[in-house]
Structures are given as structure tokens and as C-alpha cells.
A and B are shown apart, each in its own frame.
Chain A
Amino acid sequence: MAHTLNRLKADAASMMRDEQGPCMEAILQIAGLRVAFDGVPTLRAINLTLARGESLGMVGESGCGKSVTWLAALGLLTRRAKVTGSVRLAGEELLHAPASRLDKMRGGQIAMIFQDPASALNPVHRVGDQIIESLRLHRGMDHRTAQVEARRLLDQVGIPDAARRLGAYPHEFSGGQNQRVMIAMALAGQPDILIADEPTTALDVTIQAQILELLRQIQRETGMALVLISHDLGVVSEICERVMVLYGGHIVEELPADRLLNQPAHPYTKGLLAALPSLDGPRQRLFAIPGVVPNAAAFPPGCPFAPRCDRRIGRCREWAIELASLDGDSRHRAACLHVTSEPPAGEVVAA
């Protein structure tokens, strides 16, 4: 009863926000994106729309496809990967576009930063030259102008003594500073979308907060869309407006970030939340989702999460997985039989 009441309250709140909400002009549309490595499917029909200026979180365990989605969209996977579907940037198809077009798009319209900033910067080039390279590629600046702009960018991402640091090499920076340099490099092309692939996973906890704050601040200043790939539910719910939960190459739930922590619908999302340690209350044994993510080659038919799910029923195995709205709220969708329809009473829960 209380549960229903909560949901109603949240719906009312979201409706109110929608009225004053931002214009939802789609900048990127991914439809039916599939990726297979050596014939083994790792990404199964991802559909996703990104609005201009919004912040989207992508969560899930390692190997669930959250990074692969974006590497595929940017054409950064090796030739071994077979990519099908459609990726439209402002209406223009990017998948299998000519290399020259992709080079303009990468860094210019969609920029990406990576997990381990120390190894994502070229060790033999000065950081200034690496930023200047982006500026010259995407903004057509001559070397002098680019140098001035590079200094401004380093300043903007909070690196002290920017003028001198331009001449330094990546190994002379700390991990957090290297990630700031990566962000400066991403900003150099004035992108519409920034993909941050686990940008803080390799950093100290104290630095993590600083980098996330920087990302949030920069997003506010530039108005670009931010995609934050992470396995940290707390971080995602704090930074992003909308969250997608991936499992086994499927989007299993999509919901407003403010619902992630208290109103998840999919059993997998619930499991992820239950696995977070709670800071208050009595000490409890940590919950772990039973079982492991199956090998990509050995995914069961039907719902990919069924083998580990405590609510599975016989029909889960035959079910063609599909996202469905919850209670008519199109912003919260989940791919679970229990969400789309109440399980028939009396059906036996499979052991």
C-alpha cells in the first residue's frame, strides 16, 4: 500500500518537473545496435536516445556492454567486432560512415575520456602538444592560437600553473591531473556529447569526487550532453538525470536517476542496490547477487538475468525481452515479465 503511495508521489513529482523540463531535442539516436566479437554477440539490440544537454548514466557489471555500446557508436572497435544497427548523430548515420567523417565526429562532436588516464595519454608527447593536436584538428587553429587556447583549457579544468604545465609529460602528472588533462583534451573539440567511460575508477576516492564535480561543472558551463559509464550506482544517481541499467548486452531498466536508489523495478537493479553496503543501521552481511554473469557465448534464451533471478518463473526462458513502461510513466521502463504483467497466480517459481 505504502509502496503504491510512494510511486504515486514520485509520478506527481516527475510530472511537475516535466512541465518546466528542458526541451528534449534528441541529438543522438541509437537503434538496434548489435555487436558480435568473432560471432559471439555481446551487445543485443541497444536502443537509446540522448537529448541535447542531458546527462545519462550507464551502469552494470563488467562485460555488460556499457563501454562497448559507445566504442561501437564511435567506430572504435577492432575489425574483429561485427557492428550492426544504426547510430544517428543529429539525424546523420554514423555507423560505417567513411573514415574522414568519423575523424571529424570523434573529438569534434562526440568526445570520450577513459578509465585509466595515465595510459590514455601518449607517454612520449607533452600534454600541451596533445591538447594542441585536438585544437588543430577540430578548431583549425594555428599553433600560436592553439597554445593560448590550450593554456586556457588547462586552467579551466583546474590545473595550476597551466602555462608551465603545458610543457610537461603525462608521467609528471598525478592520476587525477592526467584525467583533468584528458577532460581538457576532450573539451578542445567543443563536443556536443562527452562520453566518460569509468572516469574515476582508477583514481583515489578523494580525487574521484573532484573529477566528478569538475565534469558536472563543465557540463553546466558548456551545455554538452554527458554520458557517464560507471558501476558506481551512487555516483550515477548523483550526477545524472537518467540512468540505464545494462545486463548481458541488454538494457534491462531505464529510469530517472532520482528513482534509482529507492524505486528500482528490475530484479537485477534491485540486486545491485542490495549489494551496496549501507552506512547506517546495524552491521549486516553484504548481499551478493547469486551466480556470475554467464559467458557471452552461453547466454540463455529469454531473459538473460533469469538464471540468477530470485523471481524467475518458467516463462522467463521463452520471453522475448522487451522494455515496458511502468504504470504508464514513459520515463521508467524495465524489461521484466513481472513489470509488464503480473505473473499469473499459482504459477510455480522455478527452482
Chain B
Amino acid sequence: MARFILVRLARAFLTIAIVVTFAFVVLRASGDPALALLSPETPAEAVEAFRKAWGLDAPLWVQYVRYLFAVVHGDLGQSMRDGRAAITVVAERIPITLMLTAPALILNLMIGIPAGVYAALKRDSLADRLVMMVAVIGFTVPSFVLGLLFILAFAVELPWFPSGGAGTWHHVVLPVITLGLGGAAVLARFSRSAMLEVLGQPYIRAASAKGVPWARVVTGHALPNAAIAVLTIVGFMVGNLIAGTVLVESVYSWPGIGSLLVVSVASRDLAVVQCILLVVAAAMITTNLTIDLLYGMLDPRLRQLHSGRR
């Protein structure tokens, strides 16, 4: 087990290093931050001074080494826009984004899994078809379209919720639903097929043959096996939620990480963008590690692979 975690940690560091490098190169190659941040009529000497102050005049590899050195020492740089430490700028947005993503994830799981399992148990019934139809719609409509439709319906036509901004729980409702529905649809489809696959296995018939009541066959024999497959998709969904939050926060002017990322990329606020990417990469890696550990808990076959026994 210890070896398994060590290997995973080593891979996590490698992943972060690649993300950091990629972000560094792409951001520098895609435009000059000095020109993006300063107004066009800024005198050339001032632009030059700005470049010198932020170390942008040095060759790229020197900048890269300096940056890496700083990151290793815990210094993620300063925001070019407001001069504060990038990590502070990002950190104050994290809880605001979590206010959307955490309920959205719960919504995903609470709607997606039961709907999929129910559809599988009632295979080919009207309920099954209905669930799958809604799931296909939820899965194909992009979240920004859904967001705009919701604003039109529930903020403009029926003024029940605000169309954007943050503050009260009223502000949370539409963005969370927008963010959660797509994932719930994906999860419903996946849970259904995972459950159907498991229900067709010989050990389900064998459990029935030994007299286990059907409700117990479903909860005790089928669900624990289906959970293994569903867990994989939950891992992907956390990634999707992070990606989705960028769009949804823009649509609803929600002041979270997603909005910050959009603004920072537009203004070439390099330190902040890199800091956000680091945070997202770390979140993804933590998620995947958690999921791998959960696999071990759910599937005894993997548990032994991890511990290297046998």
C-alpha cells in the first residue's frame, strides 16, 4: 500500500510539472503581457521598464528557471493587475467557486445514480425511456446554452431568481442546476449501463437461485459491483465540473475561479493564470488519488494488486 501511494505521489508531481511547464510556455508564446496590460499609448520606455520589473526581458529559459525556483520555494508570483500575491488572489475565490461546484456535484450524484439505477431495474419500461430521453437532452445541451435558457425562463420571463451575481442563496440556485444537470445526465446514462451489465452477470442469477430476495440482490450484490464502474465516471465528472464552472460563472457573472481565469487570461496576468492551473491540477490529482483509493475499497481484486500480495 505504501509503495502504491509513493508511486502515485511521484506521478502526481510529474503531472504538476508538466502542467506548469505547458502553461508557462503557452502563455508566454501567445502574447506580450506588457502590451495586454498597458494601454496602447504607453511610451516605449515605460513598457520596457514594465518588462524589466516583471523579468519579461530575460530569455524564456531564464524566466522558466526563475519561475520553477520560485514555485519550489512556495512563491507563486504576484498578480500583475493588482500587485498582490497570486496565491492570495486565487485563494479568496476558491470558496466562492466551491459554493457552486460542491452542491452541483451532490446534485449530480443524488439525481444521476438513482435515476440510472432505476432505469436499469425497469429496463425497457416507459420510466426507463423517459429517464434516458431526459438524460440525452441534458447530456447534449451545452451548459452555456442551458444557462442562458434558464436565465430567460426563470429570471426574465418568470422573475423568480436573479440572472447573475452572488450574495444570497437565490443567486446559487440557477448556476448550480445549470452546472449539475449535465453531469447528472452523464451519470444516469452510465449508471444505467453499469447496472445492466452487472444484472446480467451469472452471480446475480446465482444469488437469486440461493434465495436472496430481489431487493437484497440489488442492494447487496448488484450495486457494490456497479459502483466500481460508476466511480470511474465520477472521477471524470469532477474534471468536467471544474471546466463547466468556467462557463457557468461567466454566464451568471459568478465571482469565482472561473471568472478570475477568464479575466486573467484576457489580461495576460501570467502569475494568476499559472496559479489557477496549479490549483486545478492539484484538485484533479487529489480527486484521482481519492478515487484510486476508493477503488481498492470497493474491489478486492484491485486491493491485492495495490498491496502487491498474492
Contact mask B210-241 → A, CB, 8 Å, 1/0?
A: 11111000001100110010000000000000
A334 in the interface, Cβ–Cβ < 8 Å?
no
Given contacts A106-B208, A134-B210, contact A169 B301 (CB under 8 A): yes
CB distance from A262 to the nearest CB of B (A): 35
A201 in the interface, Cβ–Cβ < 8 Å?
no
A171 in the interface, Cβ–Cβ < 8 Å?
yes
Interface centre among B203, B208, B211 (most CB of A within 10 A): B211
Give the distance in Å from the alpha carbon of A108 to the alpha carbon of B209 in the complex: 10
CB distance from A8 to the nearest CB of B (A): 44
CB distance from A108 to the nearest CB of B (A): 6
A119 in the interface, Cβ–Cβ < 8 Å?
yes
Interchain CB contact under 8 A, A106 and B301: no
Given contacts A121-B203, A122-B203, A122-B225, contact A107 B300 (CB under 8 A): no
Give the distance in Å from the alpha carbon of A98 to the alpha carbon of B212 in the complex: 14
Interchain CB contact under 8 A, A169 and B300: yes
Nearest neighbor of B303 in chain A, beta-carbon distance:
A169
Give the distance in Å from the alpha carbon of A71 to the alpha carbon of B212 in the complex: 15
| A residues near B205, Cβ cutoff 8 Å | 71, 76, 114, 120
Give the distance in Å from the alpha carbon of A76 to the alpha carbon of B217 in the complex: 13
Given contacts A114-B202, A120-B203, contact A107 B301 (CB under 8 A): no
B30 in the interface, Cβ–Cβ < 8 Å?
no
Interchain CB contact under 8 A, A186 and B300: no
Given contacts A119-B201, A124-B298, A169-B300, contact A103 B209 (CB under 8 A): no
Interchain CB contact under 8 A, A107 and B211: yes
Which of B208, B209, B214, B300 meets A123, CB within 8 Å? Answer: B300
**A180-211 CB contacts (< 8 Å) to partner B:** 182, 185-186, 188-189
Which of A105, A112, A124, A186 meets B299, CB within 8 Å? Answer: A124
CB distance from B230 to the nearest CB of A (A): 13
Give the distance in Å from the alpha carbon of A114 to the alpha carbon of B201 in the complex: 12
Contact mask A69-96 → B, CB, 8 Å, 1/0?
A: 0010010100000000000000000000
Give the distance in Å from the alpha carbon of A133 to the alpha carbon of B209 in the complex: 13
A100 in the interface, Cβ–Cβ < 8 Å?
yes
B207 in the interface, Cβ–Cβ < 8 Å?
yes
Nearest neighbor of A119 in chain B, beta-carbon distance:
B202
Interchain CB contact under 8 A, B300 and A120: no
Contact mask B143-187 → A, CB, 8 Å, 1/0?
A: 000000000000000000000000000000000000000000000
Interchain CB contact under 8 A, A106 and B209: yes
| A residues near B212, Cβ cutoff 8 Å | 103, 107, 133, 137
Interface centre among A103, A186, A189 (most CB of B within 10 A): A103
Which of B207, B225, B300 meets A171, CB within 8 Å? Answer: B300
Interchain CB contact under 8 A, A107 and B210: yes
Given contacts A124-B224, A124-B299, A171-B301, contact A111 B210 (CB under 8 A): yes
Tier of interface size on chain B: 20 to 34
Interchain CB contact under 8 A, A137 and B208: no
Give the distance in Å from the alpha carbon of A256 to the alpha carbon of B186 in the complex: 58
| A residues near B134, Cβ cutoff 8 Å | none
A11 in the interface, Cβ–Cβ < 8 Å?
no
CB distance from B206 to the nearest CB of A (A): 4
A220 in the interface, Cβ–Cβ < 8 Å?
no
Contact mask B280-303 → A, CB, 8 Å, 1/0?
A: 000000000000000000111100
Which of A103, A125, A171 meets B211, CB within 8 Å? Answer: A103
| A residues near B221, Cβ cutoff 8 Å | 122, 125
CB distance from A140 to the nearest CB of B (A): 12
Which of A71, A100, A123 meets B203, CB within 8 Å? Answer: A123
Interchain CB contact under 8 A, A186 and B211: no
| A residues near B304, Cβ cutoff 8 Å | 172
CB distance from B217 to the nearest CB of A (A): 10
Nearest neighbor of B208 in chain A, beta-carbon distance:
A76
A99 in the interface, Cβ–Cβ < 8 Å?
yes
Give the distance in Å from the alpha carbon of A30 to the alpha carbon of B70 in the complex: 82
Contact mask A136-180 → B, CB, 8 Å, 1/0?
A: 011000000000000000000000000000000101100000000
Give the distance in Å from the alpha carbon of A100 to the alpha carbon of B207 in the complex: 15
| B residues near A105, Cβ cutoff 8 Å | 211
CB distance from B223 to the nearest CB of A (A): 10
Interchain CB contact under 8 A, B209 and A74: yes
CB distance from B176 to the nearest CB of A (A): 33
| A residues near B224, Cβ cutoff 8 Å | 124-125
Give the distance in Å from the alpha carbon of A189 to the alpha carbon of B212 in the complex: 12
Interchain CB contact under 8 A, B210 and A116: no
Interchain CB contact under 8 A, B207 and A122: yes
Interchain CB contact under 8 A, B213 and A103: yes
Nearest neighbor of B213 in chain A, beta-carbon distance:
A103
CB distance from A67 to the nearest CB of B (A): 11
A311 in the interface, Cβ–Cβ < 8 Å?
no
| B residues near A133, Cβ cutoff 8 Å | 210, 212, 220
**A279-313 CB contacts (< 8 Å) to partner B:** none
| A residues near B203, Cβ cutoff 8 Å | 119-123
Given contacts A124-B298, A171-B301, contact A106 B202 (CB under 8 A): no
CB distance from A118 to the nearest CB of B (A): 9
| A residues near B300, Cβ cutoff 8 Å | 123-124, 126, 169, 171
Given contacts A116-B202, A122-B221, contact A76 B210 (CB under 8 A): no
| A residues near B301, Cβ cutoff 8 Å | 123, 169, 171
A104 in the interface, Cβ–Cβ < 8 Å?
yes
Give the distance in Å from the alpha carbon of A346 to the alpha carbon of B301 in the complex: 68
13 contacts between A and B (CB under 8 A): A76-B209, A114-B205, A123-B225, A123-B300, A123-B301, A124-B224, A125-B221, A134-B211, A137-B211, A138-B211, A171-B301, A182-B206, A188-B210
Sorted from nearest, which 7 A-B pairs have the closest CB atoms? A107-B211, A107-B210, A120-B206, A106-B211, A112-B209, A169-B300, A119-B202
